[in-house]
Amino acid sequence: MTALPDWMRPPRLEGWFAEDLDRLPEAPRHTELIDGALVFMTSPQRWWHGEIVTDLTFALRAQAPAGFKVGREMTIRLDERNRPEPDLLLTTADYDGDRTWFTPDEVRLVVEVVSPESAHRDRTVKLRKYAEAGIPHHWCVEEEDGAPVVHVYELDKPTRSYAPAGIFRGTLERRVPFEISLDLDKLTPPRHP
């Protein structure tokens, strides 16, 4: 059995805290903190996932009004024990090139592009945690026959849970958090038989 490197050992008996992520230069690039435990992205990234994230980034940036910015692969400090990393987020925070995380009140939309390795966390754990933190909008992008399908959720403030707001194939039209019109079929290159 191989011993764990020292950096993987929690710095205290209670485990890891949100601020610890900024002190782990040896950690894999996409390391999240969920309930005080480090979660590493160790599976190879699929081309489909990368294309969706990249094209959604450009599409949302092109439509975002003043005051909104698109962040990619940045963590959100939900509380002292949770700092997940959505694939994309829309924020109202001022740009700071040295920033490593956002607070929930600065985030208007989180987007998770589901991959086999993260499917359970994206569909259940993160969905619940983002809602409990008060993030108003959540999109979960799934693959269906090579095409993206977007499951859209809106926050029900009294219950601090998400209510389904639609499942979109082909096109996505939303008025919140701002006017958004997406041709989902253009988010991936065409397949040739």
Q: Residue 95 above 80 pLDDT?
A: yes
Q: Residue 57 above 80 pLDDT?
A: yes
> 3-state secondary structure string, the chain?
CCCCCHHHCCCCCCCCCHHHHHHCCCCCCCEEEECCEEEECCCCCCHHHHHHHHHHHHHHHHHCCCCCEEEECCEECCECCEECCCCEEEECCCCCCCCCEECHHHEEEEEEECCCCCHHHHHHHHHHHHHHCCCCEEEEEEEECCEEEEEEEEEECCCCEEEEEEEEECEEEECCCCCEEEEHHHHCCCCCC
Token representation of residue 63? 């439509």
The structure tokens 């919140």 sit at 176
Domains of the chain (ranges; CATH) run 14-187 (3.90.1570.10)
Please provide the average confidence, as pLDDT, over all residues in the chain.
91
For the stretch 88-97, contacts whose Cβ atoms lie closer than 8 Å and that sit 24 or more positions apart, written own/partner, are 88/53, 88/56, 88/57, 88/60, 88/113, 90/60, 90/64, 90/137, 90/177, 92/67, 92/68, 93/69, 95/69
User: What's the whole-number mean pLDDT along residues 60-78?
Assistant: 96
pLDDT tens profile 144-172: 988 999 999 999 999 999 999 999 999 99
Q: CA quadruple 81, 76, 131, 104: dihedral positive or negative?
A: positive
CA distances from 142 to 27, 146, 168, 183 (A): 27, 9, 10, 15
Using pLDDT thresholds of 50, 70 and 90, give the confidence band for residue 83.
Answer: very high
Q: Residue 191 above 70 pLDDT?
A: no
pTM for the whole thing?
Answer: 0.89
